[in-house]
Amino acid sequence: MVRALILSLSALASTAGGDPAGTVVLSLEVGQLAKVTVSQPGARVVCDDPTVVVPEYPAGKGPALRALKPGSTLCGVRLVKDLPGGLYRVNVSKK
């Protein structure tokens, strides 16, 4: 319960820190994988700090984000023709 509260508060602090409007906040633990919602096939994901989170592309399932180490990073979905498709603030905690 306390851990969930801490994760929620850190997520709120991240978005209050200047992320663009509409940024989705994800809270993950090291090793977790979270599916990313995309509106078009062929979308790719780029993360500011690939030492914290990396995109993965499971066959036939669309992009996902894998938490590697504690920290926070902004990940952007890029659609075909490099159009923006959404932003994710990913906060990663220890297991």
CATH code of the domain covering residue 69? 2.60.40.1080
Domains of the chain: total: 1
Could you tell me which residue, 47 or 5, shows the higher pLDDT? Answer: 47
- pLDDT at position 93 is 98
Residue given tokens 């851990």 in the structure block? 3
Q: With pLDDT > 70 as the criterion, what percentage of the chain qualifies?
A: 82
- Rounded to whole angstroms, how far apart are CA atoms 66 and 55? 6
DSSP code for 13: H
- Rounded to whole angstroms, how far apart are CA atoms 14 and 73? 9
SS3 67: strand
SS3 54: strand
Segments forming the whole domain that contains residue 62? 2-93
Average pLDDT over residues 22-26: 95
Q: Which candidate, 1, 92, 95, 9, places its Cα nearest to that of 51? A: 92
Q: Per-residue pLDDT tens for 26-52? A: 999 999 999 998 878 888 999 999 999
- pLDDT at position 17 is 65
Residue given tokens 């062929």 in the structure block? 42
- pLDDT at position 10 is 46
Average pLDDT over residues 38-67: 90
- pLDDT at position 41 is 81
